[in-house]
C-alpha cells in the first residue's frame, strides 16, 4: 500500500489531497474530485471517513480559518499525465513510513498511522 502526498501551493508542506466540499456532491464525491484536481488521480473512494483533523488554511484575503478535514481512502485506478494543479504542486507516492516522515501535521500523521494499522490487520486476517 502507498500513500499519495502532495505539496501545498504556498508553504510546500506535504499533505494529502483535500479541498472544500462541492455543493450538490456527497462528501466522498468531493474528495474524489479534489484528488483529481490536485493530484491527477482517478479512482473509487473506499468506505467512510477514515479520520478527521484540523487544519488552518489561509484564504486569498489573507484571513486564516480553521478547517475540519475529513480524510477518505481511495483506490486509485488511473494516474493522469496532466491535471489542473500539476504546475502548482509536487505529487509523491510514498510508503507509510515515508509518509509519516514527510507529513508535518500531527493530526494527519495519526490518521495515516491508524489507517496503516487497520489495513495491516485486515490483510493479516485474509
Cα separations in angstroms, 100 against 23, 80, 86, 105: 32, 25, 23, 10
Q: How many CB atoms lie within 10 A of CB 118?
A: 12
- What does 69-108 look like in DSSP terms, one character per residue? EEEEEEEEEEE-S--TTTTT--EEEE-HHHHHHHB--HHH
- Grid coordinates standing for 82? 496532466
Summarize pLDDT for 35-70 with one digit per residue, the tens: 999 999 999 998 889 999 998 888 889 899 999 999
- The enclosing domain of 108 has a CATH number of 3.90.79.10
User: What is the C-alpha to C-alpha distance for residues 96 and 24, in angstroms, rounded to an integer?
Assistant: 33
Query: 112 and 96 in contact (C-beta within 8 Å)?
Result: yes
Summarize pLDDT for 73-114 with one digit per residue, the tens: 999 999 999 999 999 999 999 999 999 999 999 999 999 999
User: What is the C-alpha to C-alpha distance for residues 37 and 82, in angstroms, rounded to an integer?
Assistant: 10
Q: Is the pLDDT of residue 120 over 80?
A: no
Q: Which domain holds residue 17?
A: 3-125
Give the torsion sign (CA, 73, 77, 78, 79): positive
Q: Is the pLDDT of residue 126 over 70?
A: no
Supply the pLDDT for residue 100. Answer: 96
Q: Is the pLDDT of residue 123 over 80?
A: no
Gyration radius from the chain CA atoms: 14
Supply the pLDDT for residue 124. Answer: 53
Supply the pLDDT for residue 55. Answer: 85
Summarize pLDDT for 11-39 with one digit per residue, the tens: 899 999 987 888 889 999 999 999 999 99
Supply the pLDDT for residue 121. Answer: 57
Domain count for the chain, please give it: 1
Supply the pLDDT for residue 125. Answer: 52
Amino acid at each position: 500500500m502507498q500513500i499519495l502526498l502532495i505539496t501545498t501551493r504556498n508553504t510546500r508542506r506535504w499533505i494529502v489531497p483535500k479541498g472544500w466540499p462541492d455543493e450538490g456532491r456527497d462528501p466522498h464525491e468531493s474528495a474524489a474530485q479534489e484528488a483529481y484536481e490536485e493530484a491527477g488521480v482517478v479512482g473509487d473512494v473506499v468506505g467512510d471517513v477514515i479520520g478527521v483533523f484540523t487544519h488552518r488554511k489561509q484564504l486569498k484575503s489573507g484571513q486564516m480559518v480553521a478547517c475540519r478535514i475529513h480524510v477518505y481512502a481511495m483506490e486509485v485506478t488511473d494516474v493522469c499525465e496532466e491535471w489542473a494543479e500539476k504546475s502548482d504542486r509536487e505529487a509523491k507516492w510514498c510508503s507509510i513510513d515515508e509518509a509519516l516522515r514527510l507529513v508535518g501535521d500531527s493530526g494527519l500523521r495519526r490518521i495515516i498511522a491508524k489507517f496503516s494499522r487497520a489495513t495491516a490487520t485486515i490483510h493479516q486476517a485474509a
